[in-house]
Amino acid sequence: MGEVMVITSGKGGVGKTTTTANIGTGLASLGYKVVLVDTDIGLRNLDVVMGLENRIVYDIVDVTSGQVSYSKALIKDKRFPDGRLNLLPAAQTKDKTAVNQAQMQKLCEDLRKEFDFVLIDCPAGIEQGFKNAIAGAEKAIVVTTPEVSAIRDADRIIGLLEAGGLRNPRLIINRLRPAMVKQGDMMSIEDMVDILAIDVIGVVPEDDTIVISTNKGEPAVLDDNSRAGQAYRNITRRLTGADVPLMNLEVSEGLFDKVRKIFGMGR
Amino acid sequence: MAVLDFLNRMFSRENSNNSKNIAKERLRLVLVHDRSSVSPEIIEALKEDLIRVISNYMEIDERSLEVNLNNEDSSVALVANIPVLGLKRRNVPR
């Protein structure tokens, strides 16, 4: 039986879809059978981030409404010739009420019989789309960025997840800028853990390669030269139980630091 | 003196005016409120515990007991309004 994991955040634009695409692709790279489910009905995006947008025939609503079997609707990612990475796209022309919680539970139950990992990409917000997305999940990952708005929403989502029976969600801190943290102008990993009081499963640095890989529709986790890709590879391994230390995000010492040390002004 | 001051400001790291400290403080306050509204059951549990403890010392009107979190300027206060009906005569339990 596979694991059903929802990737959520509350706030939009913090990187849920990018995270889902990279973790899913990363897990497939390690040899697992993976299916990504886009539940953002009406605002379909996981397909373009994965570069699979031209191959969609059926979508999640076709499956939950019983019109086609899920195996017919799944898009196989050709980067993995044995078909171990799959996408179930969201419907683009319907709204969130086209699927209900019972249908999502049934879908997740079916998918976990065949796949090692079922990753649910959750829409932003706390309304029906969120409730649907978490309905069939047994684990949750909360994505946040080091901003007050994203952290506040993450805190609320953690509360709602726990109220919905999803205990101990794990945190991904996305778009961290180590130089700003060092300056004291961005909250650090410790600051965020302190506030949210949940376990961190990974920290992804702000990285231009994410923009480039999204432009191309090739998840950064496949790019050996991408720092963010390395962070996602680490997260992927942690999800499979490996003990991988957090990446070293230290910025090299600037001139000011050196001068400060010489004058003994460091505190 | 002014020069030293300037240098210190320029080189200091853990300035409490750093924007991240402002962010943390603002978040801390706003989350106290958010969290209490997410879980009214916590306030309910707190009420029950309060009643249990206070009843050791005095008789209180349990039904008109009010417990709220009040947000004032830069702090959050727990405000409890507990009508006392009478004091108990027995000794304070140890």
A191: domain CATH number is: 3.40.50.300
Please state the domain count of chain B. Answer: 1
Contact A155 B11 (CB under 8 A): no
Contact between residue A17 and residue A121 where contact means Cβ atoms under 8 Å apart? yes
Contact between residue A10 and residue A16 where contact means Cβ atoms under 8 Å apart? no
A196 → chain B, closest CA residue: B31
CA A66 vs CA A58, A70, A89: distances in Å? 12, 9, 15
Query: Mutate which of A152, A180, A193, A194 to disrupt the B interface (most B C-beta within 10 Å)?
Result: A152
Query: Mutate which of A144, A155, A182 to disrupt the B interface (most B C-beta within 10 Å)?
Result: A155
More confident residue, B17 or A18: A18
Per-residue pLDDT of chain B (94 residues; tens, 9 = 90+): 566 555 555 555 455 678 999 999 999 988 987 887 666 777 888 889 999 999 888 999 988 888 887 777 667 788 889 999 988 776 655 5
Give the domain range for residue A35: 3-263
Tell me if residue A247 falls in helix, strand or coil: coil
A182 → chain B, closest CA residue: B13
Query: Cβ contacts of residue A104 below 8 Å, gap of 6+?
Result: A39, A64, A132, A133, A135, A136
pLDDT of residue A267: 43
In a domain, B66, yes or no: yes
| Cβ-based interface (< 8 Å): residues of B facing A | 7-8, 10-15, 18-21, 23-24, 26-28, 30-31, 34-35, 38-39
Bind-site residues of A for ATP: 11-18
Q: How far apart are CA B31 and CA A149, in angstroms?
A: 11
Contact A188 B28 (CB under 8 A): no
pLDDT tens, residue by residue, A115-126: 999 999 999 999
pLDDT tens, residue by residue, A134-182: 999 999 999 999 999 999 999 999 999 998 999 999 999 999 999 999 9
In a domain, B63, yes or no: yes
CB-nearest to B23 from A156, A187, A259 is A187
| Residues in chain B within 8 Å Cβ distance of A126 | none
Please state the domain count of chain A. Answer: 1
pLDDT tens, residue by residue, A31-90: 999 999 999 999 999 999 999 999 999 999 999 999 999 999 999 999 999 999 999 999
Query: Mutate which of B21, B29, B31, B39 to disrupt the A interface (most A C-beta within 10 Å)?
Result: B31
CA atoms within 13 A on the CB side of A108: 26
Closest to A76 (Cα-Cα) out of A44, A51, A43, A112: A51
pLDDT tens, residue by residue, A175-230: 999 999 999 999 999 999 999 999 999 999 999 999 999 999 999 999 999 999 99
Bind-site residues of A: 11-18
| Residues in chain B within 8 Å Cβ distance of A152 | 27, 30-31, 34
A157–chain B Cβ distance below 8 A for any pair: no
Query: Mutate which of B6, B25, B27, B41 to disrupt the A interface (most A C-beta within 10 Å)?
Result: B27
In a domain, B73, yes or no: yes
- Look up the ipTM and state it: 0.78
Closest to B66 (Cα-Cα) out of B83, B49, B85, B52: B83
Instruction: List, as ranges, residues 32-91 from A with C-beta within 8 Å of B.
Output: none
Give the domain range for residue B60: 41-89
In a domain, B36, yes or no: no
Tell me if residue A9 falls in helix, strand or coil: coil
CB-nearest to A187 from B11, B20, B30 is B20
A264–chain B Cβ distance below 8 A for any pair: no
Please identify which residue in the block is written with the tokens 């949940």: A198
CA A7 distance to own-chain centroid: 5
CB-nearest to A159 from B21, B23, B39 is B39
Contact A185 B20 (CB under 8 A): yes
Contact B11 A260 (CB under 8 A): yes
